[in-house]
Structure 1
Amino acid sequence: MQVLQWIVNLGASVFLPILLFLFGLALRIKPGKAFKSALTIGIGFIGLNLVINLLTTSLGPATKSMISNYGLHLSSIDVGWPAASAIAYGTALGAMAIPVGVGTNIILLILGLTKTLDVDIWNYWHVAFAGSILYTLTGNMWLGLATMVVVTMFTYFFADLSAPTVGKYYGLEGISFPHGLSAPGYVFALPFNWLFDRIPGINKIHLDAETIQKRLGVFGDTTVIGAIIGLIIGFLAQQPLNKVLNLAVSMAAVMMLMPRMVSLLMEGLTPISEGANDMIKKHFPGRKLYIGMDSALAIGQGSVLSSALLLVPITLLLAIVLPGNKVLPFGDLATIPFFIALFAAVFKGDIFRTVIAGTVDIAISLYVASWAAPLITKLAKAASFNMGGNNSISALSDGGLWTNFIYLMMGEKFQWLGVGVLFIVALGLLFWLNKVRDKQENVAA
């Protein structure tokens, strides 16, 4: 446990490159090439974290000003995913998520029940989060571990299901996103897409980043859009002019720098992805596998970023007007691109559809995060997490995730029966997707 915790504490930007370097060597990639590839991925993650930190530190003061100016009284502060991941891995059960996740992945690959070879080890914190909360609630370690297995299985189902769309829209062939926050968004967006296609007038609207830029000229450029949204947020927060202008430039910087950091990740990933594909063709002829990676590869896309920035003020407005909401959005405002990364893929980059569906998703997340606040607060205390003087904390990301609501409700109310039912459902979905549907598609071909 201590060794695992030490590895986790290195952070994704360190231990993921180490893991990918070793993976590259196992794929018979030349050591120098594998090292440069892994190091580039680490640099990309550091750059991405710097940009996200810029977004967080820029939005933070504006958010606090809005709270003060409009007299908001919301009892739980959204501490964001960095704090949530630290809490998840900081519990007695948290670090076990990594061996549980890796073991489940290997078993499912051997059985042919998933196509995702998950190298995104850091993001097993999403698995740790749900399992640790249930363990804290029930005191049953084995039930917590079983929940981790179930969460992992559903995550691979979402990843396998969405991988063809991810590959086609983002140009990431052979990649899937077994990301606990982003992957369920694919299933959430599908019924909205079906509905939008059948509403007269709405089905004719298509506003992607390229279309907006073509119609509006310089004012349609994603960087300029970022600056405009920064100005609007700054004025709503009633900040001094110098701070408003700084926020506008910071938002523009995020829009410009985020895609460039993502391109570094993709540059580093390409040799490893190609090596994995060569190995699969050689040793598993006729079998298709996806390399499971962080959905950070998608958040630099123009439609994702534009929609995310539009959703920031919408999220704050929802927190104010929704009756019964107790969560003040803060830490996870910068995480909104991860919420909608797969929305944009389903909607083919349509910003209008992404913002509408994203608004509904965030409204649900606020209610789920309000429900989960006592559980997350209890988990934080169990992990000896410093809550910064707050009596109640939550996280809009995993704390507000609709799938976590299902996992925890089933586990808390019905315990082994509930987790058992979820296991059977996950197993059935994986079998249908990777056995039955593939067989049907092969016959059709």
Structure 2
Amino acid sequence: MDGLLNGFNYVLGLGPTVIIPIAIFLIAMIFGVKPAKAFKSAITIGIGFVGVNLVVGLLSSELGTAAQQMVDRFGFQLTVIDVGWPAAASAAFASPVAPLMIVLILAVNLIMLVFNWTRILNIDIWNFHHFIAAAALAYIGTGNLWVSCFVGLVMEVYVLWFSDKFAPLIQEFYGLEGVALTTGSSVAYATIGMPIAWLISKIPGLNKVEISPDTIQEKFGIFGEPMIMGLIIGIVLGLLAGYDPGMAFKLGVSLAAVLLLMPRMVKILMEGLIPISEAAQEFAQRKWGDREIFIGLDAALAIGHPANISAGLILVPITLFIAVILPGNKMLPFGDLATIPFYVAYVSASRKGNILHTVLAGTLMMAIGLYIATNFAPAHTELLAGLDSVKGLGSQMSSFDTGGNILKWLAYYLAEFLNNLF
């Protein structure tokens, strides 16, 4: 198991730009794609992920700095620190349950695919950390390896079911043919946010308000174009962070670049993925008749849509504000603020890009996430024990990605219930 974990961690350390092309090449060969075409598609997808990661890195670094400045400027006093998803992911892969969970996650997906319980082949290996974290937290609470692994796999099955059910919605709205978004945090927040957004869309008055990139562009011309929207939102966030006009404009240009470049990077990735997706459909029809296969990938592919990222960026200062005024909340948002566009990916698609409905639903989502993260802080802090990257950040640590994740929170208490039951 130690050898498996070390090998897996080495591969993970190479990043998605290596992992995904290798996985795509092997899958393409299984589906009967000629080696030369499979290799070209795999490398094209790798290049696409290089571009996606560069743009996501730009968003995270620029927005993360601005968020820190907002926190410092307004002097928020909250005792639980949001350390962000990277720390939680690292702790998950270093946990005792990780080696066994890696094998079980792959096996469960293949079994579900063979028996037609899902149409998704999840190759988003890096995001296995969500299922492993659910099991690792349960293991902290119960000390029972098998119960902990069971609840982690329950989360995987739910994520695959949810992603499968809403794959057509995602494919149509984001233009991601043959793709399902299997990121655990995106599905968790969608589980809360999509019903809330649906209810908001039924409120008299609000149900007639349509604020989308298309309607904004129609009414405001150039100011409704995605990159100009990014520029304006970035400048406003910079001013809220206390930047001088020059630095605020710099942040605006960076966020404008994200909105302009991300769709182009995704387009490159999709050029490589389409031949594999077509081969997968042909393979499924040969083996199982009239069936489809979707490729499970990271929700990063969705954040470049102007409606999604606009809603996500608007929610950054809103999340900071509600964190201060919510009675009983103890978590200071910080590390995961830049990932809010991931959390609203499904919600934005379900509301057909209506930014107002997405922001309103997102506000309630983040409020619920804050309460869950506060409740989950003791277990989350124990999960992070021993990580050098979080030493000195505070006595209590949590995050939106793991601590505020309702699926991991439910898995934790389900494990406690099962452990006491048996």
Distance verdict in 2 for CA 1:353–1:344, change over 3 Å: same
Alignment of 1:240 with 2:236, yes or no, is: no
Secondary structure of the corresponding residue to residue 252 of structure 1: helix
Structure 1 consecutive aligned stretches of length 4 or more whose deviation exceeds 4 Å: none
Alignment of 1:67 with 2:35, yes or no, is: no
- Alpha-carbon distance in structure 2 between the residues aligned to 1:173 and 1:244: 37
Answer yes or no: is the 8 Å Cα contact 2:17–2:49 preserved in 1.
Answer: yes
Deviations 1:218-260 (A, max 9, x none): 1112211211122212222222333222212112112212222
1:167 Cα offset (Å): 2.5
For structure 1, which segment, 181-190 or 328-337, has the greater mean C-alpha deviation from structure 2 after superposition? 181-190
Residue from 42, 48, 52 that aligns with 2:46: 42
Distance verdict in 2 for CA 1:173–1:45, change over 3 Å: closer
- Alpha-carbon distance in structure 1 between the residues aligned to 2:279 and 2:12: 26
Q: What is the one-letter code of the residue matched to 1:327?
A: M
1:339 Cα offset (Å): 0.2
2:159 match = 155
Secondary structure of the corresponding residue to residue 390 of structure 2: coil
Deviations 1:346-386 (A, max 9, x none): 1111111111111111111111112222212111115x443
1:171 match = 175
Q: What is the one-letter code of the residue matched to 1:292?
A: G
1:130 Cα offset (Å): 0.7
1:225 match = 229
Gaps of 5+ in 2: none
1:387 match = 390
Q: What is the one-letter code of the residue matched to 1:387?
A: V
Answer yes or no: is the 8 Å Cα contact 1:100–1:148 preserved in 2.
Answer: no
Alignment of 1:122 with 2:123, yes or no, is: no
1:140 match = 144
Residue pairs, 1:1-400, within 5 angstroms = 1=4, 2-381=6-385, 384-391=387-394, 392-400=396-404
Deviations 1:185-218 (A, max 9, x none): 4443442344234322111112211111111111
- Alpha-carbon distance in structure 2 between the residues aligned to 1:6 and 1:148: 23
1:426 match = none
1:294 Cα offset (Å): 1.9
1:22 Cα offset (Å): 0.9
Compute the TM-score of the two structures, normalised by the length of structure 2.
0.93
1:413 Cα offset (Å): 4.3
Answer yes or no: is the 8 Å Cα contact 1:115–1:289 preserved in 2.
Answer: yes
For structure 1, which segment, 300-309 or 182-191, has the greater mean C-alpha deviation from structure 2 after superposition? 182-191
Q: What is the one-letter code of the residue matched to 1:221?
A: E
Distance verdict in 2 for CA 1:38–1:163, change over 3 Å: same
Residue from 384, 406, 409 that aligns with 1:402: 406
Secondary structure of the corresponding residue to residue 137 of structure 1: helix
Deviations 1:131-176 (A, max 9, x none): 1111122222222211222111111111122122222322334322
1:180 Cα offset (Å): 0.6
- Alpha-carbon distance in structure 1 between the residues aligned to 2:269 and 2:253: 24
- Alpha-carbon distance in structure 2 between the residues aligned to 1:294 and 1:166: 12
Report the aligned-residue RMSD.
1.9
Gaps of 5+ in 1: 421-445
Compute the TM-score of the two structures, normalised by the length of structure 1.
0.89
Answer yes or no: is the 8 Å Cα contact 1:97–1:125 preserved in 2.
Answer: no
Q: Kindly tell me the number of residue pairs found equivalent between the two proteins.
A: 417
Answer yes or no: is the 8 Å Cα contact 2:58–2:254 preserved in 1.
Answer: yes
Q: What is the one-letter code of the residue matched to 1:210?
A: D
Answer yes or no: is the 8 Å Cα contact 1:186–1:346 preserved in 2.
Answer: no
Deviations 1:420-440 (A, max 9, x none): 9xxxxxxxxxxxxxxxxxxxx
- Alpha-carbon distance in structure 1 between the residues aligned to 2:73 and 2:7: 47
For structure 1, which segment, 150-159 or 287-296, has the greater mean C-alpha deviation from structure 2 after superposition? 287-296
